Amino acid sequence: MTLDETLSLWRSTPFLYGQSDCMLSVGDYLASRGAVDVTSLFKGRYDTEDGAIVQMAAYGGACGLVDMTGVERTTEPVRGDVVVIQLGDVQIGALHTGNGVAARLERGTVEVSTRFVQIVAAWKVP
């Protein structure tokens, strides 16, 4: 799937912990682009934010989960790459949109300029 197709899907389908939450949505995007699909390890294993946090912590947090896909890290993300951003005291996966990032949150897909977020790490998407 392209970035635009993915964002359209995110906007038109519900956010559900353990099904289509922030990290599983990023994992689905990466798998659609040829990365190792690790989402089957997590889908259906939790259904709350706390459950998601426990699962993420067990695998090294958001960065550890993206690393599991085998995608190479980059220091200069571009449109379509995956990034992990700091959101309060939590790190979550997002997609780089060129001048910003798009993250799938409970309240919907949110796009924010990179000026207003802290990118913790980034991966070059195939």
pLDDT digits (tens, 9 = 90+) for 29-76: 999 999 999 999 999 999 999 999 999 999 999 999 999 999 999 999
Residue 19 exposed, middle or buried by CB count within 10 Å (0-12, 13-18, 19+): middle
Q: Write down the pLDDT at residue 108.
A: 95
Q: In terms of pLDDT, which residue wins out, 126 or 119?
A: 119
Residues 6+ apart with CB under 8 A from 22: 15, 92, 93, 94, 103, 104, 105
Q: What is the pTM of this model?
A: 0.94
Q: Which domains does the chain have, with CATH numbers?
A: 3-123 (3.90.1720)
Q: Write down the pLDDT at residue 14.
A: 96
Q: Measured between alpha carbons, how far is 13 from 115 in angstroms, rounded to an integer?
A: 28
What integer best gives the mean pLDDT of the chain?
96
| Angle formed at CA 14 by CA 11 and CA 16, multiple of 5 degrees | 130
